[in-house]
Amino acid sequence: MVLLSRSVSALRKLLGICEGYAVAHGLRYNVQKSEFLVFKPKGGTVGTVPAVYLYGTELKRTSQFKYLGHWVTEDLSDGVDIERERRSMAVRCNMLARRFARCTRQVKITLFKAYCQSFYTCSLWVRHSASTLNTLRVQYNNAFRMLMGLPRYCSASGMLTEARTDGFHAILRKRAASLMRRVCASPNSLLRVVASRLDCPFQYHWVKLHVR
């Protein structure tokens, strides 16, 4: 569960509502697993932040947390989440290479598409460095080489084209287009605001992916 607020005082009110709801329904939040994060302004810093309490216990402030599998950081950078995906891909590819080394080429391609092209939440990657994303691209290409038993420095575009498999940037474009389509078609009022704002960072990012 996540609470979003523009100020500490408003956050305290929201926590008070949660406490009242929990008492009325025989529930209790785990204070040890609860924490709060303050988003930093772009190019700025955050000074002293007043304490936030839950059941009279001061909550720990954190600089990042994982929500629905996606890492959120105080500076809204996606570098941590991209690194999470890179590590996860490396583990999956190593597992596939060990267990299915004797399978046919087509079976390996099918397994690669199923386990190494998910790029979970990649449509939300907006703020990151080119080098960070390039590291994941290199991991993706090397994963395919390892699984297929190809030379380390063979052409990435050539091997993927021959296997009729999407390249790294093609996957990002498809994921972004899919998310944009669902956001624009959503009846949710908040998502409609995002879809209608041409100056929205996500809109800018999605369009930029398709006009390179």
Q: pLDDT of 63-81, one tens digit each?
A: 999 998 899 999 989 999 9
Q: What per-residue confidence (pLDDT) applies to 211?
A: 67
52 and 96 housed in the same domain:
no
CA nearest 116: which of 139, 83, 134? 139
111 and 45 housed in the same domain:
no
pLDDT of residue 212 exceeding 70, the answer is: no
Long-range CB contacts for residues 180-187, cutoff 8 Å, separation at least 24: 180/206
For the chain, how are helix, strand and coil distributed in percent, rounded to 5?
A: 55, 10, 35
Q: What per-residue confidence (pLDDT) applies to 126?
A: 85
In a domain, 1, yes or no: no
Q: Does pTM top 0.85 for this prediction?
A: no
Q: What per-residue confidence (pLDDT) applies to 155?
A: 93
- Residue 111 structural domain: 79-210
In a domain, 70, yes or no: no
83 and 21 housed in the same domain:
no
For the chain, the domain total comes to 2
In a domain, 101, yes or no: yes
CA nearest 207: which of 119, 121, 123? 123
Q: What per-residue confidence (pLDDT) applies to 197?
A: 77
The stretch 165-194 carries a mean pLDDT of 88
Q: Read off the pLDDT of residues 195-207 as tens digits, 9 standing for 90 and up.
A: 787 777 777 777 7
103 and 206 housed in the same domain:
yes
Tell me phi and psi for residue 33, to 5 degrees: -100, 5
Q: What is the mean pLDDT of the chain?
A: 90
Q: What per-residue confidence (pLDDT) applies to 152?
A: 87
